[in-house]
Amino acid sequence: MSSFGKKLIDGMVARGYTEEFATRTFAQLEGFGSYGFPESHAASFALIAYASSWIKCWHPDVFCAALLNAQPMGFYAPAQIVRDARDHGVEVRPVCVNASRWDCTLEPLGQDRFAVRLGMRMVRGLANADAAKVLAGRADRPFASVDDLWRRSEAPVASLVDLAKADAFEPALGIARREALWAIKALRDEPLPLFAAASAREQAIVPEVGEGPVTLKPMTAGRQVVEDYGHVGLTLREHPVSFLRRDLAAQNVVSCADAGATRDGRSVKVAGLVLVRQKPGSAKGVMFITIEDETGVANLVIWPSLYEKQRRVTSPPACCRSMDVSSAKARSSTSSHIAFTTSPMRWPASAIATGASRCRTGVETSSTMVARAGMRAICRREGSNRATSTFPTCR
């Protein structure tokens, strides 16, 4: 910085500033340059920004797997990382008891392309040590059933429950979430000695419980999505807001993509899952919220006066839910933002649509907080007011 002192002071004096003022100005700049933003910091940030952009451009599969394995790391949740990767053509495969390792891995697709296999680290509640037992148990051959996994891995029954809730038995064994939970209910942490001896003698699995085929009521598509978010933190199925699109459209709520294409200054209503909520100290009380639906994201700008009026809606925990906001739209040349001019309203979760039957308001069966994705869904099923759980029921 010192080498530029004479040039800056002479230039300021030539333009009418006093020499004292010019000297004091340069002293302030020189002091900041000594500690505020050193060259090494600028160079390292530029390098990592360039390297990250290059990897994301040319190897989005590697980029996705690396970010997932580095969680938790800050700004973006796994659901948004996976969504962005899929939008850029990356195939993402679910957690699988026969294919997943602890970390997310790459599976060859040919022509230097890879699919990302979600690792067991994504399963909430599953310990690393228990996942290691599952991997060791399948070293010789893949698991053939829930009972086979339990015996060969010697993993605690609680860890099998975690895997079943994450739907990890479906990809390889074709056992749905509820069927897997039903089968696990017959197990315990220690097999009975008589059956263990019989299995060793026969060199085959001798089940402890002889039960005929059981028909369990299948989960609805909406319930599957809610369970995915609750136990994996993301879903590879439909976006949650897509199940509510018909109800939202009836309320004149547009999608995030349509909001982004709306002309400047037009009032719109948009709804989505809350991804990011920021209120930086340098923004003079302005809050920034990013919401997401099945079409993309929308950036919300909430002015301080409105924030104070709607604190209960815009602040956690309410802000961790879905939001329906009325606003006036403003756009810039590089991005679109929605600035509130009227009160934001948390839209009622009328329901996540279930299969062929529409969900009706007023008949509540269960509520599940969907962590990290910022969504709270109330699943309702027509004709029942009894609370339901993940555990299956016979019919």
Any domain includes 355 = no
Q: Are residues 26 and 88 in the same domain?
A: no
User: What CATH number should be reported for the domain holding residue 123?
Assistant: 1.10.150
159 and 297 in a common domain:
no
Q: Which two tokens stand for residue 362?
A: 């007023």
What DSSP character marks residue 320? G
- Domain boundary pick from 339, 369, 386: 339
Domain boundary among 214, 230, 265: 214
Does residue 121 sit in the same domain as residue 75?
yes
Together in a domain, 111 and 193: yes
**Which of 315, 339, 363 is a domain's end point?**
339
| 351-to-83, 219, 221, 293, 361 alpha-carbon distances in Å | 23, 15, 12, 15, 7
Structure confidence at residue 168 (pLDDT): 94
Shared domain for 150 and 30, answered yes or no, is no
Structure confidence at residue 299 (pLDDT): 85
Reported in sequence order, the residue ranges of the chain that DSSP labels E, i.e. its strands, are: 92-93, 105-110, 113-117, 267-278, 287-293, 296-302, 322-331, 336-339, 366-370, 375-379
How far is residue 181 from each of residues 111, 236, 347, 381, measured CA to CA in Å? Answer: 39, 21, 33, 22
Tell me: do 72 and 30 sit in the same domain.
no
Same domain, residue pair 85 and 210: yes
Inter-residue contact 121 to 95 (CB < 8 Å): no
Same domain, 98 and 170: yes
What was the pLDDT predicted at 129?
94
pLDDT at 318: 47
Provide the domain limits for residue 26. 2-35
Strands 287-293 and 267-278, bridge-based pairing: antiparallel
Number of domains within the chain? 3
Per-residue confidence (pLDDT) for residue 344, from 0 to 100 = 47
Count of CB atoms within 10 A of residue 150's CB?
24
**pLDDT tens, 72-130?**
887 788 988 999 999 999 999 999 999 999 999 999 998 888 999 999 999 999 999 99
Strands 92-93 and 113-117: parallel
Q: Are residues 69 and 207 in the same domain?
A: yes
User: Do 11 and 75 fall into the same domain?
Assistant: no
The pTM score is 0.68
**CATH code, 327:** 2.40.50.140
Q: What is the pLDDT tens value at each position of the chain, 395 positions in all? A: 677 888 989 999 999 999 999 999 988 887 766 666 666 677 888 899 999 999 999 999 999 999 999 988 877 889 889 999 999 999 999 999 999 999 999 999 988 889 999 999 999 999 999 999 999 999 999 999 888 898 888 899 999 999 999 999 999 999 999 999 988 887 766 665 665 666 666 555 556 556 666 778 888 898 999 899 999 989 999 998 899 899 888 988 888 888 888 887 788 888 888 887 887 877 788 888 888 888 888 888 888 888 888 777 776 654 445 555 555 555 544 445 555 544 444 443 333 322 222 222 222 222 222 222 233 332 333 233 333 333 333 33
